[in-house]
A and B are shown apart, each in its own frame.
Chain A
Amino acid sequence: MDRPAATSARQTDSPGPSATARVLAAVLTLAVAAILVGAVLDLPDRPAGLTSQVLNHLGESGVTQPVTAVLLNFRGYDTWLEVAVVLLAALAVLALQRSDDLVCLPAPSLAEPVLAWLVRLLVPVLVLAAGYLLWLGTHAPGGAFQAGALLGAAGVLLLIAGRRSIDALGGWRLRLLLLAGFALFLLVATGPLLAGLNLLEYPSGWAGTLIVPVELAVMLSIGATLALLFAGAHPSRPRVEEREPPSGGRPESA
């Protein structure tokens, strides 16, 4: 029996934008567009900026690639706070889980043979490429964040294929991985304070040696956090090992 589309919509379908919402949004967007176009056309066409300053001071930064030097040395404070934001996102996603144990990730289902073979092939390559990008960051585009993204991709692949990845880590190991980047950066940033220098002022000549362990820890943290973010937004499924008997009031899993 045919029903009009509106009454057969399920409750989970969200309504489309109402007419007033569209009009108001369009007015707001056009106003912002006018302001931004005026601002952007007002920008000068001739080069300006900090390129020459960065290139002049590249020798004392400890690396030879300008972007890595800016990220980890000249603007190290921004990078430190960015690692803190990553940690915050991981903690927030974990806080949204129902259990109060850190190892509360859902157990994934097993995958088909082709995907399983592909994962067996790709994950070692991803780990190798992550290590290579980490080393490459000192003299070419690369570095901790790119390598961390590859590690996160490896974790996501394992999760999709039904292998155990970060849910196989025990509670304290996962916590250590998540905290390692921010903790090491904190040590390296506040260490100079004890020696009488300023925050994040690496002692001269030590910049290169201090950046490497920080980058390694940041890479591991970002990889673990990205895999955790993927698992945290995963639809809930019954866990393989039942810690407590299933309660009657648990809603049906998606």
Chain B
Amino acid sequence: MTPFQIYSLASVALVCLGLYGLVAFPHLLRKLLALNILAGGVFLLLVSVAHRNAVDGVPDPVPHAMVLTGIVVAVSTTGFALALARRIHRERGLTHLVDEEAAE
């Protein structure tokens, strides 16, 4: 099994772990952490593709640039999501979202 295959299978594992955490857990912070793990899996795949495409020891810069962009977007999303979770907690005292119809 080539190193590229090992890295890409690891990234699939990370993506699946993140997806499970995002869907299964009701706690907002857990969902946020799972989203970050999901993003990490995608970044790992992009970087391993960049390493596979290396020419004369210079790795492919385009997936590197995409990962940099992705990291910044993930941080911005996490910051905003944390502020939202903080506001939800301040308004309702809950750390998970409640189904409005089910509460009736």
The interface of chain A, by Cβ under 8 A from chain B, is 11-17, 21-22, 24-26, 28-30, 32-33, 36-37, 40-41, 43, 45, 47-52, 54-55, 66-67, 69-71, 74-75, 78-79, 82, 85-86, 88-89, 92-93, 96, 145, 222, 225-226, 229-230, 232-236, 251, 254
- Structural contact, B94 and A47, CB atoms closer than 8 A: no
Query: A114 to nearest B CB, angstroms?
Result: 27
A sample of 10 inter-chain contacts (CB < 8 A) reads: A14-B27, A25-B19, A29-B16, A32-B16, A41-B8, A45-B4, A50-B60, A51-B60, A75-B62, A93-B80
Report chain B residues within 8 Å CB of A51.
Answer: 53-55, 58-61
* Bound Cα distance from A78 to B19, whole angstroms: 26
Chain B residues with Cβ under 8 A from A92's Cβ? 80, 83
Evaluate whether A236 and B90 lie within 8 angstroms (CB atoms) in the complex, with A67-B64, A89-B77 already known: yes
Task: State whether A47 and B26 are in contact (beta carbons under 8 Å apart), knowing that A12-B89, A12-B94 are contacts in the complex.
Answer: no
Is there contact, CB below 8 Å, between A40 and B55? Answer: no
Do residues B95 and A82 form an inter-chain contact, with CB atoms below 8 A? no
Of A25, A41, A55, which one neighbours B23 at CB under 8 angstroms?
A25
Contact A36 B12 (CB under 8 A): yes
Per the bound structure, the CA–CA distance linking A17 and B27 in Å amounts to 9
For residue A47, which residues in chain B have a CB less than 8 angstroms away from its CB?
52-55
Whether the Cβ atoms of A233 and B79 lie closer than 8 Å is yes
Number of B residues near A (Cβ < 8 Å) is 56
Contacts A11-B93, A48-B53, A50-B62: A89 and B79 contacting too (C-beta < 8 A)? Answer: yes
Bound Cα distance A254, B20 (Å): 31
Binding site for A on B (CB under 8 A): 2, 4-5, 8-9, 11-13, 15-16, 19-20, 23-28, 45, 49-50, 52-55, 58-66, 68-69, 71-73, 75-77, 79-80, 82-87, 89-90, 93-96
Partner of A54, one of B16, B49, B62, B95: B62
